[in-house]
Amino acid sequence: MTYRAPLKEMRFFLHELAGVDEVCGRAPFEEASPELVPAILEEAAKLAENVLAPLNGAGETDPPTIVDGQVRETAGFAEAYRQFAEGGWAACSANPRFGGMGLPHAINSAASEMWAAANLSFSICPILSMAAIETLESHGDAELQRKYLENMVSGRWTGTMNLTEPQAGSDLAAVRTKAVPAGDHYRIFGQKIFISWGDHEMSENIVHLVLARIEGAPEGVQGISLFLVPKHVPGEGGAPGERNDLGPIALEKKMGIHGSATCAMVYGEEGKGAAGWLIGEENRGLSYMFTMMNSARLHVGLEGVGLSELATQKAVAFAAERVQGRPLGRRDSTIIQHPDVRRMIMFMKSMTEAARAISYTAAGALDRSMTGDAGAPGAEGARARARYELLIPVAKGWNTEVAQDVASLCMQVHGGMGYVEKTGAAQIVRDARIMTIYEGTTAIHANDFIGRKMQRDGGAELSRLLLDAGETCALAAKSDRLANAAGFVGESVSQAQELTQWLLKESDETRAAAAVNFLMGCGTLIGAWLLLKSALAAEAAMEQDPHFHQSRIRVCNFFAAQVLPRAVAHFSAVRHASLPDQWLDDMALGI
């Protein structure tokens, strides 16, 4: 079985949920048109299916190595990256002023899903580069943009994110990497760990975005600045020049994503320090880095979608061929005839489509925030930006937790065959596991959702989302095909509305204890709402493609009946989170 991009589903969700047609042709997406979308997706699918997917196994069995202080990536990856860059894929959503295609983020999201599904290890490199481009365009000065952005947008140079240190994981207040002023730039000294694609030979240069403290800066996150630190300092003509004082000292031996070069990096090992240039103002580095992190978090959520899609396709292909048992008295039947196998596959498919719906909706909200007047209170852009920011922790946190369930069920469908390497099911489980951890653990995103995103406006945007969901339920209740699903979703909407108001009145401790269950409950509900919304659109277009649109309705009804009850359980757990001190004590721990 090999990956095949689900283009019809992608186009449907881009049109019905992301609203791509509404933003194409409007600034800053003047160069995009709805008619281009199918062709772009088809070309992206060709690269994913024919170039990246065949290398997925190679990255697993022949991971990168360090030779003479330089990372050598898996054989074939450099040629794949050359095709990726020459195809202009690094430039999808980048500003045309720097050579970008200026496409809506929703279209780029669909392409990113394909990269992740076809070869997760490979996809991490260009995704981080795109996030670095966005950060430099948003916060870098004109000179840095002139020197670096065109080469990054073209794909000739790649970008990385350097946050984590041995003593500073999620707690970035503990960052110790230092920056010493040296004329018009700085010298960077320190060590960073878990740097995805921190070194390789696929591109001419690597542009590291590094968090560090300028000497004398305040303690904590208030004293962190952001620096651009190139692997090779550009010469007068802009071509990569001398090697900077930085490099990889080790490659992490990981549970999964073996084809991705995850480096421990040292800056200033030779003693002179790595030349780095300040991005923006001193001591505002963490706020700038949130631009990069939010971009990366949207894409990690899409990794969850991509790997879920791959797992579902693999399970369906295996179940359709594997002869085992006698389901309900049938003889010599493939296991896809077993009721529970069908249940598992439908669970996988509906969860994958719900996750895709959330990610594409978030990307569509980002696009609308850029086309509307984001500066005017209550304007279209401001409302869309609030929706995007609310959905980011859901797209990252919920989607990646879903990927764990779907990957596990893929192995379950394979049975014992899934536990051996030749089927590829085990690799999916290993690769998926990191997604709930990097770019912030599920709890970090849950606390962001229930804390900053819900509390900062008194629950106003979440309440607006729930009102939108309620309106969808009212419309769907009139449909014979969707009335039951509308009832199930409506009940969960009412629960979420009540819990939102209750949580706003509770203590910070209670909200922290309830955060993960609230995120998972809301993610499940939002997924159900968006599937219901898409099913209404499918019903209206039934005559155009009866089989496809009927499938959207069946997926929605299955999710509402079989998956949405999880939201009820999560919401019940939220209600009982008011006494976290009683959950575990020294006696229970045995100390």
* Catalytic sites, residue numbers: 439
3-state secondary structure of 395: helix
Contact 510, 541 (CB under 8 A): no
Contact 261, 64 (CB under 8 A): yes
Residue 4 to residue 284: CA distance in whole angstroms:
43
Contact 358, 301 (CB under 8 A): yes
Find, among 111, 134, 151, 92, the residue nearest to 295 by Cα: 134
Q: Tokens representing 462?
A: 């979440």
Contact 105, 95 (CB under 8 A): no
Residue 226 to residue 140: CA distance in whole angstroms:
10
Cα–Cα–Cα angle for 132, 135, 139, rounded to 5 degrees: 145
CA 337 to chain centre: 34
Residue 437 to residue 397: CA distance in whole angstroms:
9
Find, among 228, 74, 226, 198, the residue nearest to 125 by Cα: 198
Residue 224 to residue 327: CA distance in whole angstroms:
62
Residue 465 to residue 366: CA distance in whole angstroms:
15
End-to-end alpha carbon distance in the chain:
51
Task: Report the b/e string of 331-344 with b at 16+ CB within 10 A.
Answer: eebbbbbbeebeeb
Locus of tokens 């990256």: 81
Residue 474 to residue 495: CA distance in whole angstroms:
16
Find, among 311, 300, 318, 392, the residue nearest to 352 by Cα: 311
Residue 535 to residue 581: CA distance in whole angstroms:
44
Find, among 412, 411, 390, 393, the residue nearest to 401 by Cα: 393
Contact 255, 238 (CB under 8 A): no
- Gyration radius of the chain's alpha carbons: 24
Contact 306, 117 (CB under 8 A): yes
Q: Tokens representing 105?
A: 């983020």
Q: What is the largest CA-CA distance in the chain?
A: 81
Residue 232 to residue 246: CA distance in whole angstroms:
9
Contact 411, 419 (CB under 8 A): yes
Question: Sign of the CA dihedral 449, 454, 460, 466?
Answer: positive
